Amino acid sequence: MKLGLICRYDNSGLGTLSREFARHLKPHKVLLVENGKFTTFPERYDDFDTRKVTNSISGLDRDWLLDDIDVLFTCETFYSWDIIKDCRRRNVKTALYTMFEMTVDPIPIHPDLYVCPSVLDQRYFPDNSVLLEPPIATDRLIWKERKVAHTFVHSGSHAGMNDRKGTQVFLDAIPLVKDPDVRFIIYTWNNHFKVPDDPRIEVRVVNFKNYWQMWREGDVLVYPQGCNGICLPIIEAMSSGMAVITTDIYPFNEYMPKELLFPPCETYRHSMGIGLVEVEDYRLDPQDIADVINKIAGKDITRFSAYGKTYAEEHSWKVLLPEYERAFNDLKMSAL
């Protein structure tokens, strides 16, 4: 089966997903699409002889990409939805890795398969979907035991649409944390947050070249979340051995230790951006976040750290790769 893959090659979540999908699925062709905002790393794809870089997908790009492939796979968007029409003319099947909250409404044309990382995504894409959780690159996210909750880390990166990474609500929670000896490290690509005057806080403006570098220091990730079907920082930090504090909502409350979850305080509906689907989201209270931090600050977290190792092993690429390959092979066979 010959797979074509549309990839981002920056340090966003889409860049991380693209990088690992390409490394493990070994596509026949790779089309690299530049976001135009983030630092790019085309050298990540030096091992692929059949690759092409573009700023926007042109007709020539489509012709190059679709020639001699069986299935076209991309994450979140096809960038040019007309490419699905081109695929059907060439008998090439299409698959989209969904991020429901970032989906255009209405979808111009449906692909042949929606690959959903959570059941929540499948509620938005009930037809022609398969549930496949995000695989973990255990060879890159090296697990390390964390023993005591002393250093609390947060990844703000580029903040995300509507501050969906929860950076500001976490910063608002820090003054409510009682322990004077804990530390807080905030990673961000640009420091545009309202940071409390608190000596325990260290803001690090850095864009790591490799996503796994962020999880080498610290004991606990604090990552307040509203609507989300997949959250790579949570999965990455947990797989690296960190305890994780986040919101008690699906899908996180399906696979994360209950003791480290805090409740949402209000539900509302909105769109993440113009033209995107309306989703159910949650407002969060800084005090609820601080309460969980206060509960574990200075305490033994080895059992939470060990849980992350087990989770990573059970969701590794070694375990999940055959399921992805089976889904794409089945899709190819449906074209015959």
pLDDT-above-90 percentage for the chain: 74
Residue 20: pLDDT band (50, 70, 90) is: very high
Specify the pLDDT at position 148.
Answer: 98
Specify the pLDDT at position 336.
Answer: 65
Specify the pLDDT at position 162.
Answer: 58
- Beta bridge partners, 243, equal 220
CATH superfamily of 3-134+317-333: Glycogen Phosphorylase B; (3.40.50.2000)
Specify the pLDDT at position 36.
Answer: 78
Lowest mean pLDDT among 16-30, 43-57, 197-211: 43-57
Single pTM value for the model: 0.94
Q: What is the dihedral of CA 232, 235, 241, 243, to 10 degrees?
A: 100
In the chain, where are the structural domains located? 3-134+317-333, 151-314
Residue pLDDT, tens place only, 255-273? 899 999 999 998 999 898 8
CATH of 151-314, one of 3.40.50.1000, 3.40.50.2000, 3.40.50.300, 3.40.50.2300: 3.40.50.2000
Q: What span, in angstroms and rounded, lies between the C-alpha atoms of 271 and 274?
A: 7
Specify the pLDDT at position 160.
Answer: 64
Is the fold of 3-134+317-333 the same as that of 151-314?
Answer: yes
Q: Where are the alpha helices (DSSP H) in 3-81?
A: 13-25, 59-66
Specify the pLDDT at position 39.
Answer: 84
Q: What span, in angstroms and rounded, lies between the C-alpha atoms of 216 and 144?
A: 8
Let me know how long the chain is.
336
Residue pLDDT, tens place only, 116-165? 999 989 988 888 999 999 999 999 999 999 999 999 999 988 766 557 78
Q: What span, in angstroms and rounded, lies between the C-alpha atoms of 318 and 74?
A: 21
Residue 198: pLDDT band (50, 70, 90) is: very high
- Residue carrying structure tokens 């409350």: 253
Rounded to an integer, the average pLDDT of 17-32 is 96
Specify the pLDDT at position 49.
Answer: 84
Specify the pLDDT at position 8.
Answer: 93
Rounded to an integer, the average pLDDT of 100-118 is 93
Q: Is the pLDDT of residue 50 over 80?
A: yes
Rounded to an integer, the average pLDDT of 230-245 is 95
The C-alpha angle with vertex 231 and arms to 227 and 234, in degrees rounded to 5, equals 120
What average pLDDT does the structure give for the chain? 93
For residue 280, which amino acid is it?
E
